[in-house]
Structure 1
Amino acid sequence: MKFFSQSYSYDDPWSIVTLAFFLRYPNPYASHVLSCDVISRSVTPSGSLMTTRLILKRGAMPRWFPKGIVSRAESWVVEETEVDPVGRTVRCQTRNLDHVKVMQVQETVEFRSTPEGKTLQLTEARILSGFGWGLTRRIETHGLNKFKANLQRVRFHFMILSTFLTPVYSLVKAFLSSSSSCDNPDCSQWLLGSPQDTPVSVNLPAQPTIAEHKTSTGTDAEAYSTMPRAQNSWSRLKAWLRPPPRAD
């Protein structure tokens, strides 16, 4: 059995890295991933988000591997993730469901928020082969090398994705901070992150009042009838991002 352990620190906050983790597939640096589907999602009584995803990956057998033993170089992988917004940690376990006698890879990843506002990633992997025929050690070494190469590509994609997610996250966070939809502390914890994240100053459009829609000769009832219906947070955000065209 081959064992791999590594730690890595991201300069981005935990909220950004967590979002990038769930959005990492598909991406051009992981062309071996054919599909990624959520098969279950639930919230525990303690407030943690539990997600199970089924991922289909395609690989290539090495040239020295005996022909005809593995009919197809594809494997289903199950990913089980727990997101703890209070403790600001993400724990993920993955394992392959196919070709387990040839090689089984069990990976554990954990993302932790640091006091400096960064994110620490801890990765552990166990590669085990029960193939025999004098190829066990060679198969495990090949699997370890492939795992390291894929880890570097995924990490590089994380950095690129975080660059695009940071301004979007700051924009949405600023909107939600001023929205009444996040008065609930649980909602704020999920959507806004920790108080150490610095909000971005954004001026949101104010809700129209009855007085603004009154005419000089109208009544309160007439003014109320001309008021637009109350908008939810998503409608307000879309209206703010895409304001109506100005009249000439």
Structure 2
Amino acid sequence: MKFFSQSFLYDDPWPIVSLAFFLRYPNPYASHVLSCDVISREFTPSGSLLTTRLILKTATLPRWAPKGIISRSESLILEESEVDPHGKVVRCLTRNLEHVKAMQVHETQTFSQVGEGRTLQTTEARIVSGFGWGLTRQIENYGLARFRKNVQRSREGVALILDLIRQARMQPMTVGSSYLNPTSASRFTTKPRAFDKSASQPHQFPETGDPSLQT
């Protein structure tokens, strides 16, 4: 089992960073993300917003991994988040629903307000492989190294969306326009993909499920 923990301080207010986090797909630093579907969204009696999203990502293993260790080259990720507007904190849990024997990654992220106009992001992850055959440690080390890279790329993606939000705030709003035009980030991607849509045809959840190579 491998563990990861890292904190990062944004020089942007919590509401803007939280918005950028939920709008982070698509972006040119997340080419491994194929789709993002909102499964459910509701308010709690205390006013917190609960959201469940299903994210489809590419799934790859190194060349030294045995053939057939994963059944397909894609993986479903479950993302469960809570936005607490009173405590000014976002909590997000993600885990992979497929290929859990090869590797399970359980990720926790929090975004909390720090003073005036700054936001602290904390990321923690637990990486576990149950594959065996003398490859457990090797697979876990690979997963940890890849997770570190994904965290950095995710941060760069959020930074890009933050920049687009700043640009949007500087321009006058017209009737019927959105706060952030989705095509602003889409133009950086190499091919069109569908993101953040209500799932008209829900994905089938595997019977086994646990953590994710998130971010």
Q: Do these two structures clear the TM 0.5 threshold for a shared fold by scoring above it?
A: yes
Higher share in helix: 1
Give the percent of matched residue pairs that are identical in Structure 1 and Structure 2.
63
**Partner of residue 197, structure 2:** none
Aligned length: 178
| Runs (5+) with no aligned partner, structure 2 | 179-215
User: In the TM superposition, what are the counterparts of 1:75-224 in structure 2 within 5 Å?
Assistant: 75-169=75-169
| Offset of residue 105 of structure 1 | 0.3
Q: Show CA shifts across 1:97-127 (max 9, x none).
A: 0011110000000000111320000100000
Which residue identity does 2:90 align to in structure 1? V
Which residue identity does 1:2 align to in structure 2? K
| Offset of residue 92 of structure 1 | 0.1
Choose the corresponding residue for 1:238, options 167, 170, 175: 175
C-alpha distance in 2, partners of 1:111/1:14?
Answer: 7
Which residue identity does 2:151 align to in structure 1? L
Q: Show CA shifts across 1:13-69 (max 9, x none).
A: 111110110011111111111110000000000000000000001022110000123
Which residue identity does 2:12 align to in structure 1? D
- Would you say the 8 A contact 1:77–1:94 is kept in 2? yes
The alignment partner of 1:238 has SS state of coil
**Partner of residue 51, structure 1:** 51
| Offset of residue 171 of structure 1 | 6.4
- Would you say the 8 A contact 1:110–1:122 is kept in 2? yes
Greater relative CO (CA pairs within 8 A, separation 6+): 2
| Offset of residue 70 of structure 1 | 1.8
Q: Show CA shifts across 1:77-114 (max 9, x none).
A: 00000000111100000000001111000000000011
- Would you say the 8 A contact 2:69–2:102 is kept in 1? no
> What is the TM-score of this pair, normalised by structure 1?
0.68
Which residue identity does 1:93 align to in structure 2? L
* Structure of greater Rg: 1
C-alpha distance in 1, partners of 2:25/2:163?
Answer: 16
C-alpha distance in 1, partners of 2:36/2:84?
Answer: 22
**Partner of residue 31, structure 1:** 31
Which residue identity does 1:6 align to in structure 2? Q
- Compared with structure 1, are the counterparts of its residues 147 and 240 closer, same or farther at alpha carbon in structure 2 (3 Å cutoff)? closer
C-alpha distance in 2, partners of 1:69/1:147?
Answer: 19
Higher share in strand: 2
| Offset of residue 128 of structure 1 | 0.5
The alignment partner of 2:116 has SS state of coil
Which residue identity does 1:99 align to in structure 2? H
Tell whether 2:5 aligns with 1:5: yes
- Compared with structure 1, are the counterparts of its residues 114 and 134 closer, same or farther at alpha carbon in structure 2 (3 Å cutoff)? same
